[in-house]
Structure 1
Amino acid sequence: MKSSLKFAALTLALSLPFAAQAHKAWLQPSQTVLAGNNPWVTVDAAVSNDLFYFNHVPLRLDSLAITAPDGSQVAPQNSATGKYRSVFDVELKQSGTYRIGVVNQSVIGQWEENGQLKRWRGTPAAFATEVPKNAKNLQVSQSVMRVETFVTNGSPNETALKPSGQGLEMVPLTHPNDLFAGEPAKFRLQIDGKPAAGLDVEVVRGGTRYRNAQDEVKVKTDAQGEFIVTWPEAGMYWLEATTQDDKTSVPQARQRRLAYVATLEVLPQ
């Protein structure tokens, strides 16, 4: 009886949306708008309780991708992962806009074996070989989480901003490095390349450690997946949207959980 209750509880946990999780994943560059001959930025990567402070766990960099203004991939430099954060440098050799992102695709499975609960987490590729094919009461959930930020050296361009057409993505209709306090900015959310209508979007300014309230801004995407944010003041902002569907790439998974996160810098007018 106890085993069945625990199994039911874990099944419920697998079905909870990302929004139910208190911790926030993020990438924060030292600055987002630069000009000069081969400037650098340092990026902090963490999962924390407060924005943007290191007080929970580091964001792992295994799936880090840096897209240069010409669309090529750039390797990070001086990467390190500590107790509370990961950190890396990016040399901006090209003029234009860089997209810096971590995309984590994972599968969570749980089953009963000899009266005990077993739980597994890994990549979709590893699932087929590491989880027993005849597992009893197997429950499987797939997740795709994209965490991004944007940096521009000199004049902005849009080559690196093109979506991949996979998972939940944001298409900036206002350039993400051209954001100013008091001005509206427009974006589009897409799922597998198609407009994501009716999604809730939450926007929170950093420095929550020193506020009694989150002061979040909440908007919803329209029929074209588009939404508008008017920034109340300058600062670093954390933007998140989550959803779920049944379009899994693992046959045993009944649902796919999707999350998108971006760190955006809003400048004073």
Structure 2
Amino acid sequence: MKKFSLAIIALMTSLVAEAHVPFLKPNQFNVTHHRLTIESAFTEFPFQADFAMDSPNFTITSPQGETTAIRPIAKTKAAVYLEPELKEEGTYRISTGQRVGPVYKAVETADKKLYFAADMQRVTGKPTTMNYYSYADTYIFKGQQKYVAKPFNKGLEIIPLASPNGLLLGGELSFQVLENGKPVPNARIIVVSDNEHFIKRRVEDLYDLDNVRTSNIHADQQGEFTFHPQKAGLNFLFVTVHHQLNAQLWESQNASLTLEVNLPPDTQGKP
């Protein structure tokens, strides 16, 4: 038992060397055949799975707003896989629900900021602890896109205010960040395009409170923001919110949304 406990501690130490972020990745957003698979994992570099993100709360929400549980069909060390069934036309929300992580050691600075993992090495402050919660969502559709925003009003959410599956390069889409159904004023949204770390070397951790990526977006007082994609393909939106529960404990709420950005129609040479 002692050896097992030490192994778990060593594993957790290796996993948090850098703060990982959660994601869901469908193999198709416009579902045109029955081979639909959705990958669930944690990563430092979206969308490369580092270790599996299992959850007891995976759900699918139908175009009619009915939410039902779904179970993984396969699990590996790197990822968990879902094969939800789409019974009708319209837009579906796939969600991990709330995934409760471990309690981590952290540092609380004099200006009431919370740091953990590798970030602890570059700040000084009061030792504390942190509960880590993850949420990941994505939207897929079959046939016609029939979308109406239907927040769960539970936990942290990035809610599209129009169909999330019609986003084109050069276009825009508005969202609202909610926590337990209430807007999160001035939320910081991290934006990452697929494989961007092969184009430009990234120094900052996505989770880092102090990162100043040029792609960052800040919501308004109502938690609303507009995303103007700079790259076609997979795009990743990520939000972190911290709360101090008492003198010795904080909580970190973390939510992601995976989007597909398509190229606009090719009209060259057409009347």
TM-score of the superposition, structure 2-length normalised? Answer: 0.71
Q: Does structure 2 retain, via aligned residues, the 8 Å contact 1:202–1:216?
A: no
Q: What residue in structure 1 maps to residue 27 of structure 2?
A: 30
**Which residue identity lines up with residue 63 of structure 1 in the other structure?**
N
Q: Does structure 1 retain, via aligned residues, the 8 Å contact 2:147–2:162?
A: no
Shift of 1:205: 0.4
Q: Select the residue among 138, 150, 158 that pairs with 2:139.
A: 150
Q: What residue in structure 2 maps to residue 134 of structure 1?
A: none
Per-residue CA deviation, residues 149-194 of structure 1 (Å, 9 max, x unaligned), is: 11011122235x4112222112211321111101111101012211
Q: What residue in structure 1 maps to residue 228 of structure 2?
A: 230
Q: What residue in structure 1 maps to residue 99 of structure 2?
A: 104
Q: What residue in structure 2 maps to residue 49 of structure 1?
A: 44
Instruction: Note if 1:171 corresponds to 2:151.
Output: no
Q: Does structure 2 retain, via aligned residues, the 8 Å contact 1:25–1:59?
A: yes
- Larger % of strand: which? 1
Query: How many pairs were matched up?
Result: 217
> Could you list the runs of 5+ residues in structure 1 that have no partner in the other structure?
1-17, 111-138
**Which residue identity lines up with residue 26 of structure 1 in the other structure?**
F
> Could you list the runs of 5+ residues in structure 2 that have no partner in the other structure?
1-15, 106-127, 203-212, 265-271
Q: What residue in structure 1 maps to residue 113 of structure 2?
A: none
Q: Does structure 1 retain, via aligned residues, the 8 Å contact 2:58–2:69?
A: no
The separation in 1 between residues aligned to 2:168 and 2:47, in whole angstroms, is: 20
Of 198-207 and 69-78, the range deviating more from structure 2: 69-78
The separation in 2 between residues aligned to 1:216 and 1:25, in whole angstroms, is: 21
| C-alpha RMSD over aligned residues | 2.8
Q: Select the residue among 246, 258, 262 that pairs with 1:263.
A: 258
Residue 254 to residue 151, structure 1, CA distance change in 2 (3 Å): same
Query: 1:34 aligns to what SS in structure 2?
Result: coil
The separation in 1 between residues aligned to 2:102 and 2:70, in whole angstroms, is: 27
Q: What residue in structure 2 maps to residue 200 of structure 1?
A: 188
Q: What residue in structure 2 maps to residue 60 of structure 1?
A: 54
- Identity percentage over the alignment? 26
Q: Does structure 2 retain, via aligned residues, the 8 Å contact 1:40–1:92?
A: no
Residue 85 to residue 35, structure 1, CA distance change in 2 (3 Å): closer
**Which residue identity lines up with residue 176 of structure 1 in the other structure?**
P
The separation in 1 between residues aligned to 2:84 and 2:189, in whole angstroms, is: 29
